[in-house]
Every structure is written in structure tokens, then in C-alpha cells.
Amino acid sequence: MSEHVVEQEKTTKKKSIVFWKAASIFLIWILLLGSTGMAVGNRFFWSEVDYGQIQREVDYYRNLVDMEPDDPSHRVALGFNLHRLGDTRGALAHLEEAINIDENLFDAYLNRGYVYTDMGYWDDALADFEKCVELAPDDFKGHFNLGIVYRELDMIEISYESLESALALRPGATDVLYNLALTAQADNDPEVAVHYLERTLQFDPQYQEALDLYRQLTR
């Protein structure tokens, strides 16, 4: 085997390792983002992230988009990371293009909903999370985020319904229970709020926001 072929194989293996490493990082972030809804909650999980690493992810997925512009998953990944950097315009551009390529791509609507929520565009966020529920009714993330948006729109009853649907799909999810408490608080029902906070703390005694609100309501 020639030295050229050996070197080519090494380069191919290296590229493959880099791709799977980046893809794994992205999938972990997606799971964290989707499973907790932090982009629409009170705990922004990327507040202490290495922004240099995020920029490297952005550069990586820009290259993938350039190489494979018709693969919507690359654009979702790029939009996700641009959002983490605070580039909402760039994030929206790539997420919208992903939807143009695949109008049934759950992750594109979910992440665009997060961006709209971060911007306070509640009606747009509502439409995207409704689409998530339509595309994947058994995925709790759409119901969960709908419940939060409904609360922001002062639609308390349907906020309860959406959050309870999310809880039915993910029993014991502390962020869902905590947001049920927030909806109860918005409904001026501290007794129900305390009930949900107690359930939250049963699953996670160190949930600081829940602890703070519980102490506030039980003084």
C-alpha cells in the first residue's frame, strides 16, 4: 500500500472521529435543551459554557452546511449554536431554512420556538410548539413548552393542561412540576403552587429555584 493511500486513510479516520465527536456534543446539548426546556425557563444552562467551544461548534457546522447545504440537520445544529452565542437573527435564518428543506422536522420547530421565546415573540413561539405537538404528540417537550408560553400569554387553564400532558409523558420531571407551580402562582393559588413545589423537591431537593419559591410561599 502506498504512503499516499495510508495517509488518506488516516485523514479519513481523523475526519470521521471529529464528526462523531461534534455530533455527540450536539446531541447531548439537544437532549439537555429539550428535556428541561431551559431556554424557556429560568435556568439558562449555557450561562457558564465555554464560548470558545461554542464558536468552534459554529465554525464546524458552518463548514458542514457549506459542504451539504441540503441536509437540514446541519442547519438545526448551526442555528442551535448560534442561539447559544446570542445571534438570534443568524439562528432563525438557519432554522427557517431547515424547515424549508424539511417542513416536518421536529427539532427545527423546537429550536426556533426556543429562539422566539427568548425574544419574547410569544405568538410565534406558540405556533412552533403547537407544530411540535402535532408532529410528535408523544414527545413531552412540545407540551411542556406550550404550557410555559400559555402562561406567559395569561392563558392559565390551558397552561395547566399542557403541563399536565407533559407530566403524564414524563412522570416526575422536575422542570415540569416546577412550571406547574409557577402557573399556580400566576393563578394566585399559593396552596397548589406549594403542592407542586413539594413534589418537585421530593425528586430534586437541591432544585434551587423551587427551594427559593417554596420558602417564599411558606413564610
pLDDT of residue 26: 44
Distances in whole angstroms, Cα of residue 176 to Cα of each of 48, 67, 119:
23, 39, 22
- Average pLDDT in the chain: 85
Average pLDDT over residues 27-55: 52
CA 31/CA 114 separation, integer angstroms: 14
Q: Where are the domains of the chain?
A: 3-136, 156-219
CA distances from 85 to 4, 34, 60, 68, 106 (A): 40, 18, 14, 23, 22
Per-residue pLDDT tens digits for 190-218? 999 999 999 999 999 999 999 999 999 99
Q: Report d(CA 82, CA 79) in Å as an integer.
A: 5
* Residue pair 119/99 in contact by the 8 Å Cβ criterion: no
| Higher-scoring residue by pLDDT: 15, 175 | 175
CATH classification (class only), 156-219: mainly alpha
What residue type is 42 in one-letter code? Answer: N
Checking if the pLDDT of 142 tops 80, the result is yes
Q: Give the dihedral sign, CA 173/41/106/29.
A: negative
CA distances for 155 relative to 5, 133, 158, 201, angstroms? 64, 18, 6, 26
Q: Which residue's C-alpha cell is 414527545?
A: 139
Q: What is the pLDDT of residue 50?
A: 79
Query: What residues have CB less than 8 Å from 69, skipping those under 6 apart?
Result: none
CATH number attached to the domain at 3-136: 1.25.40.10
Fold matches, 3-136 and 156-219: yes
| Furthest-apart CA atoms within the chain: distance in Å | 77
Closest listed residue to residue 153, CA positions, set 118, 131, 183: 183
Query: Cell match 413545589: residue?
Result: 197
Closest of 215, 213, 147 to residue 185, by C-alpha? 213
